[in-house]
Amino acid sequence: MTGQVGCAFGRGDGVGRAVVLAGRRRWSRCGAGRADCAYTDSGVGPTPCRKVIGKTQSLVQVRGADMPITSITIAPLPIPESLAGQAGADFTASAELANLVSCLLWGNNDFWVSPAARLEGSRANDYTATYLWAARDGDRHVGRALLELSLQDNEQNGYVFVAVHPQYRRRGIGRRLLAEAEALAGSRGRTTLQSWSEHPVGFKMEGQAMLQAETGYGSAPAASPAVRFATSSGFQLEQVDRCSRMPIPADAGRLIGQVESAAARAAGSYRLVEWADSCPPEYLDQYAVLRQRMSTDAPLGELDYEEEVWDAVRVRHKEENLKRMNGRSLVVAVQHAPTGDLVGHTVLEWFPEQPEVVYQEDTLVLRAHRGHRLGLWLKARNLQRVAESWPQGRRLYTWNAAENSHMLDINLALGFAPAGDEAAWQKKLPARPEAG
């Protein structure tokens, strides 16, 4: 196997783009493909993988030679009411496998998600239906597949996430898991599958063959296990996002200068509005419009994706779900002074279980209001709030389409550096014969 150790094809569990989905930073690597290394960055680097491997497995065992397999079984994994009992133990084992695979890929715990948070993100709701499968060798969880189906919009799509323990790769387990998810998606009338794979910057070796995205921007290492699995399974590389990382707290003097400069330029025309965790009622409907526009205003290449349907109820659902996952958020919105309309926003999320890590979620400025440095103003001000609200934060991650040069330039100005890429894959499912 070249490069990645136990990569995941896709991600999920309702945890959103930031907390798995997806990577990461400027780092120093202690050996390509090493599962037992830690990244360092002036003393604030990510912690090594031992957190998710646990006390009963050594790193050598995790990365060891091929193990004999007796009988691999694949079956649906019910989403339990709680983590208690056997159903909860099975869900926890599946969640720990997802964390292990992510940790071995990145060499750190920055995208570790607790089983409790994964459970909250997987619960049935009005917007997403989630299905899980487990591959087992006896009692041991060695693979998992997750399928998410949108229920209010994009009902042509299924979002699939497959992970296999590195000791059990290249035995057809991933293919069998994917087949289960594809069959269910097709039976629910879905015609397109989408997924994502992650590729840390350290795996782009000189002279390595790269697969170009259909957008013409960005690429993924052709020899990586995730890319081989995706292409051999009929997926096409539609788009690549750059994952970037910056150390925090950010330079206070630089942020002050950026905020003051942008504020002076916007004086009389725009003002900032801020909140934490819950949108004030007077802005709720306008904020829903921004969330809806965000779903398609960012570059999507040829990914089959329609504008999401957002209203005040969905905003509150999103906020409550994040709270149940023990997450927190900071939002800064920009208001057009003459009309009182919200015309842009940015969102940061943080989880006390991972206190050193902060995730950048949405940033949007409506097209009619671009060209005034509002995006930089929004993001710089929210970075100031991180130091005030989450002083434990040491690393911030963000993702942007490789073709989104404007936002990438803003991130560079703020202090981000490339950390890796996230490849977006798409597969058209064969048409199902009509009954009768």
pLDDT in tens, 293-332: 999 888 899 999 999 999 999 999 999 999 999 999 999 9
More confident site: 258 or 18 = 258
Looking at the chain, the whole-number percentage of residues with pLDDT higher than 90 is: 79
Cα separation values, 129 from 174, 185, 221, 266, 414, Å: 22, 11, 32, 43, 37
Residue that the structure tokens 């069998």 belong to: 176
pLDDT in tens, 78-116: 999 999 999 999 999 999 999 999 999 999 999 999 999
Does the pLDDT value for residue 12 go beyond 60?
no
Residue 270 pairs in a beta bridge with 336
Looking at the chain, the whole-number percentage of residues with pLDDT higher than 70 is: 82
Kindly state which CATH superfamily the domain 8-244+424-428 is placed in: Gcn5-related N-acetyltransferase (GNAT) (3.40.630.30)
User: CA 416, CA 396: separation in Å to the nearest integer?
Assistant: 8
Q: Looking at the domain covering 249-393, what would its CATH class be?
A: alpha beta
User: CA 169, CA 356: separation in Å to the nearest integer?
Assistant: 32
Work out the pLDDT band at 70, boundaries 50, 70, 90.
Answer: low
Does the pLDDT value for residue 11 go beyond 80?
no
What does the domain layout of the chain look like in residue ranges? 8-244+424-428, 249-393
Phi, psi values for residue 157, rounded to 5° = -105, 155
Work out the pLDDT band at 358, boundaries 50, 70, 90.
Answer: very high
Residue 221 pairs in a beta bridge with 210
User: CA 198, CA 201: separation in Å to the nearest integer?
Assistant: 10
Work out the pLDDT band at 432, boundaries 50, 70, 90.
Answer: confident
Q: How many CB atoms lie within 10 A of CB 74?
A: 18
On the question of a common fold for 8-244+424-428 and 249-393, the answer reads yes
User: CA 295, CA 153: separation in Å to the nearest integer?
Assistant: 11
Work out the pLDDT band at 203, boundaries 50, 70, 90.
Answer: low
How does the average pLDDT of the chain come out, rounded? 86
Angle at 299 between CA 146 and CA 322, to 5 degrees: 45
Work out the pLDDT band at 201, boundaries 50, 70, 90.
Answer: confident
Cα separation values, 91 from 123, 310, 355, Å: 12, 30, 24
Work out the pLDDT band at 381, boundaries 50, 70, 90.
Answer: very high
